[in-house]
Each structure stands twice: as C-alpha cells, then as structure tokens.
C-alpha cells in the first residue's frame, strides 16, 4: 500500500478538535477563570498541537496505526514482488513458449495483475477506514472529556488553537488549559487501560 501522507494528519486532527471543542461550549481548567463582560461566562482554550503531543491515548493510537500501516505495506509489497518475479520469469521464457501457452499465461498474468491492484486498493481503503474510525474515537474521547471538564470548572466556551488551524490568533497564557486537560485525559486513559 502506498502511503505518502502521515499516519495521522495533525491538520485533520486540528480541524476535528477545533470543531469538537468549539461545539462543546464549555471547558476551562485554569485556577483564574476569564470573566466576560457579563461576569458569568468564562472562555478558555486548548492548544491541540500540545494536547496531542502529551495525550497517551493519541500516542498509543498513532503507534497502532503505524504498525498496521507497515504490516499492510509489507503485505502489499510482498505480493507485488511475487507478481513481478512471475512476470519477469514469463518475459524470460516467452520466446520459447508455444503461442497458445504464451496467450494463456498472458491472460493469467493480466488477471493476477488486476487482482493485485484490487487487493492494493482494498488494503488502502481498509486502512483509511480504520484511521477514520480511530480519529472519530479520539475526537469523541476528547470532546466528551472536555464537556465534563468545562462543567466541572464552570467554563462556558472552550476554544482550540493549532498552528495548522489557528481559530485563536492570540490567547492570554492564563487562559491556556492544555496542560491540565492533557494531565486529566491521561489520568482517565490510565484508568481505562487497567
């Protein structure tokens, strides 16, 4: 399987996380809440780049996906090499083959090539589906956690920041709750793993 893109696109995750966190309309994790003009609403942000780098579930998920991608790539590569060897053998012997044997061998090799291409496409699609599924699980875990976290801390709006998707152009560092969110996400993940 040919994969030119990284196993997990931080850009895609940034977009997912931005939508998730903004949709939650909650979370703040700092001890000093930001108070809006009404005096009741609080707004904080999470740096999704930092969160991903610190979140153990994301690290484990990335390793799982990388292992699966490498296995699929190896399987496709092995099958492709076997076909290439068979085709090279045919080319080497084609001049000495009878016309009917050469024709049937060419037809068989053509079917095998089509089968290989279908296999390669199926492997790529299966990996893409699994990656999409894992990304959805990651998104749900973070969104659900942030929703509860926001309620606990009394936050009314949680924004996300990412260099790839800068929803927040500037945020006072006192409003950055990334470290607290990452710590608590990892604590929850550690409990889930047990």
Mean pLDDT by 10 residues, the chain (194 residues): 44 42 41 44 87 95 96 94 94 92 93 95 96 95 93 90 80 86 94 86
Note whether residue 179 is domain-resident: yes
What pLDDT does 41 receive? Answer: 57
Note whether residue 171 is domain-resident: yes
Q: Are 36 and 28 in contact (CB under 8 A)?
A: no
Task: For the chain, report the end-to-end CA distance as a whole number of angstroms.
Answer: 34
Q: Are 159 and 21 in contact (CB under 8 A)?
A: yes
Q: Are 160 and 29 in contact (CB under 8 A)?
A: no
Note whether residue 4 is domain-resident: no
Note whether residue 5 is domain-resident: no
- Which has the closest alpha carbon to 30: 172, 190, 189, 188? 172
Note whether residue 124 is domain-resident: yes
Dmax over CA atoms of the chain, in Å, equals 90
Note whether residue 173 is domain-resident: yes
The count of structural domains within the chain is 1
d(CA 33, CA 155) in angstroms, rounded, equals 8
**What's the burial of 178, exposed, middle or buried (CB within 10 Å: 0-12/13-18/19+)?**
buried
d(CA 85, CA 67) in angstroms, rounded, equals 27
> In this structure, how many other beta carbons lie within 10 angstroms of the beta carbon of residue 185?
21
Note whether residue 49 is domain-resident: yes
Which domain covers residue 40, as residue numbers?
A: 10-193
Note whether residue 116 is domain-resident: yes
Which pTM was predicted? 0.68
């Amino acid at each position: 399987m040919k994969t030119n893109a990284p196993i997990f696109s931080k850009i895609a995750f940034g977009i997912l996380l931005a939508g998730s966190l903004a949709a939650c309309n909650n979370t703040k994790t700092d001890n000093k809440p930001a108070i809006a003009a009404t005096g009741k609403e609080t707004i904080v942000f999470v740096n999704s780049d930092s969160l991903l780098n610190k979140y153990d579930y994301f690290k484990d998920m990335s390793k799982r996906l990388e292992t699966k991608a490498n296995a699929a790539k190896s399987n496709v590569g092995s099958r492709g090499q076997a076909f290439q060897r068979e085709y090279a053998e045919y080319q080497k012997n084609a001049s000495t083959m009878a016309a009917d044997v050469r024709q049937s061998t060419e037809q068989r090799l053509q079917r095998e090539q089509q089968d290989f291409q279908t296999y390669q496409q199926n492997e790529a699609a299966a990996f893409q589906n699994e990656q999409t599924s894992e990304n959805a699980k990651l998104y749900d875990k973070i969104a659900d956690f942030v929703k509860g976290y926001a309620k606990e801390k009394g936050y009314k709006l949680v924004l996300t920041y990412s260099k790839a998707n800068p929803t927040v152009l500037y945020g006072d560092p006192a409003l950055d709750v990334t470290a607290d969110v990452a710590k608590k996400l990892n604590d929850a993940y550690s409990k889930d793993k047990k």
